[in-house]
Structure 1
Amino acid sequence: MSLFDKVIIVDWSGGNDRGASPKKDAIWACVAGEIPVYLRNRALAEDWIGTQIAACQGRVLIGFDFPFGYPEGFAEVVTGQADALALWTWFEARVEDSPKANNRFDLAGELNRHFAGVGPFWGNALAREIVDLPRKGRSRYGHGMREKRAAEAQAKGAFACWQMSGAGSVGGQTMMGLPVLARLRARFEAAAWPFEPWREARVVLAEVWPSLIAQSVVRQQVEGEIKDAAQVRVLAGKIAGLSDTVLAAMLDVTEPRALTEGWILGLGREADLDCRE
């Protein structure tokens, strides 16, 4: 029997409702072996994920494409605990989210006030100014945080979680995703990988990064298919197709900072993850 009976990959978004028509840079999800699903906002996505978990009697692995933690030291400054999961709880209590609006930029400014200097968060996509949130990354100074986690430092092309707007930014996705993870973890007693033991959990939440298999996505994307849809489809198939031995080795990550910052599933084992079709 495989380690997991169902593998789901979710391409997340920090933005507002994207409308009824499927489009890029929105939320896409895929159960391995099935057709990708377009989810126009986070509320619908959370409901869909919960339904998928509840419908499976076996074990479920769900990968989300945003950081599960921040550079070491951030959680302790904000929550008083050197525990990434304490941040999940912190965000779940403070994020205000609806299909048409959320408070991610204001919250980034509030978080910056925990630190000396200016930063670490930056990037304001709103017309109004936000206190303590600089629009440009070069405006930051003296905040004391490393720019990237150990995972981003190793993953070529990965962006820092401090960037809240602009091309490639993942800060908004992270901030609007962690509350959802906190609720899923509580509702289904899910294991938050790599912070918690995964072997006995029925549901495992894991961080993924589709760019690890970028060339396979290019080769397998069909004409007219939205790239986000192709990414979740191909990555779900890749992970579901791994042998138990290889997948277990990926989940048993040994990187020292993974337990405080999080990690990307398959990072450092790209050859195993992205084997040729």
Structure 2
Amino acid sequence: MTGPAFDTVVVVDWSAASAPSPARPSADAIWIGVAGEAERVEYFRTRAAAEAALAAVLAAERAAGRRVLVGFDFALGYPAGFAARLTGRAEARAVWAWMAGRIADDAGNRNNRFVVAAEINRAFGGAGPFWGRPAGLELPALPATKAVDYAALGLPERRAVEQVVPRAQPVWKLYTTGSVGSQVLMGLPMVHRLAQGAGVAVWPFDATETERAGVVLAEIYPSLLAARVAAEGGIKDAAQVRLLARSLRRLARAGQIAALMRVPSGLPPDEGWILGAGHEAALRAALEAA
């Protein structure tokens, strides 16, 4: 089976931290794994530093004539219907641009993500869809705990891919253990900026361009390799970006990534999909390959 040939795979473990991560490499921070002619893993204390480093990696790879697949560990789309109601367009790209115009994020990680989430909730009538915030933050339009009736709101709580990967948390949860919603809010503006580059496609939204684009951005879920990562030991974040980048590159170089890039028919065009969802066995087998 053939598929897009990638020379280099980059896997990004993102963070929504509101202050720089510790100087000493730590969990729950930003880690970037690169699998190409060599493998490396880097730790970043701030989003600004990580985005600058990622842009430099992509520029260097493209200058060398290499095709790059970049995976981000946050959703690139929201449940069906959200994009159209927020922006008037049923397109994930419209949400990225909307977020990029409103999310403030300085060099020290200070940001306004909870304020923006509250603004969105007010636009939806004040009853959600986002929830979760620090107890001391007074934002009446953003409930501190889950108190959202998604059926009444007219939005799904989960995307279609989260039915296939039920361990993935809903994108609406912004705070406390397991929340991923804040990473989405803080990651989409970066995706918007990167997607403006020449020769950049975002899978699966730009399906027809994925075969030829010099850089392909995609959503990944490192926990698809949870057991293998746990066996690796050390800082989980570092292990998972290294192993997933290695696995995806081996599949791509062996011409076996096409299966991972198929999405179900009838998938809402604004939701997106997790690269590798339903293909955990292939990802694990690639790690065992010589």
TM-score bracket relative to the smaller structure = over 0.9
Cα shift readout 1:32-68 (whole Å, capped 9, x = no counterpart) = 1423100111100100110100111211000000000
Q: Which residue of 2 aligns with 1:5?
A: 7
Contact 1:217 1:230 in 2 (8 A): yes
The alignment's TM-score, normalised by the length of structure 1, stands at 0.94
Counterpart contact for 1:238–1:273, Cα < 8 Å: yes
Is 1:26 equivalent to 2:32 in the alignment?
Answer: no
Aligned residues: 274
TM-score (norm 2): 0.90
Letter of the structure 1 residue corresponding to residue 273 of structure 2: W
Tell me: CA distance 1:139–1:181, structure 2 relative to 1, closer, same or farther (3 Å): closer
Contact (CA 8 Å) 1:69, 1:260: kept in 2 or not? yes
CA RMSD between the two structures? 1.8
Aligned AA (1:91) = M
> Aligned in 2, Cα 1:255/1:67: closer, same or farther, shift over 3 Å?
farther
Displacement, 1:127? 1.3
Distance (Å, rounded) in 2 between the aligned partners of 1:2 and 1:153: 26
Structure 1's 229 and 132: CA in aligned 2 closer, same or farther, altered over 3 A?
A: same
Structure 1 unaligned residues grouped into runs of 5+ = none
Shift of 1:233: 0.6
- 1:216-269 per-residue CA deviation (whole Å, 9 max, x = no partner) reads 1122x14xx211000101101111111544202212323422532010001122
Checking the alignment, whether the CA contact within 8 Å between 2:90 and 2:269 is kept in structure 1 is no
> 5 Å matches for 1:250-261?
250-257=260-267, 259-261=269-271
- Whether the aligned pair in 2 keeps the contact of 1:246 and 1:272 (CA below 8 Å) is no
The one-letter amino acid of 1:203's match is: V
Amino acid at match of 2:201: A
- Is the Cα–Cα contact under 8 Å of residues 192 and 204 in structure 1 kept in the other structure? yes
Deviation at 1:126, TM superposition (A): 5.3
Match of residue 106, structure 1, among 99, 103, 115: 115
Deviations 1:125-184 (A, max 9, x none): 251211300001135563221110001121021100000001110110000000000101
Which one of the candidate residues 65, 69, 72 is aligned to 2:77? 69
Give distance in 2, aligned partners of 1:43 and 1:117. 32
1:133 aligns with 2:142: yes
Cα distance in 1, alignment partners of residues 4 and 94 from structure 2? 32
CA contact (8 A) 1:66 1:174 kept: yes
Do 2:80 and 2:268's aligned partners in 1 also have CA atoms closer than 8 Å?
Answer: no
Contact persistence 1:116–1:144 (CA under 8 A):
no
Measured at CA, do residues 53 and 91 of structure 1 come closer, stay the same or move farther in structure 2, by a change above 3 Å?
A: same
Deviates more, 1:253-262 or 1:10-19: 253-262
Which of 90, 103, 114 is the aligned partner of 2:98? 90
- 2:169 maps to 159
What percent of counterpart residues are identical? 45
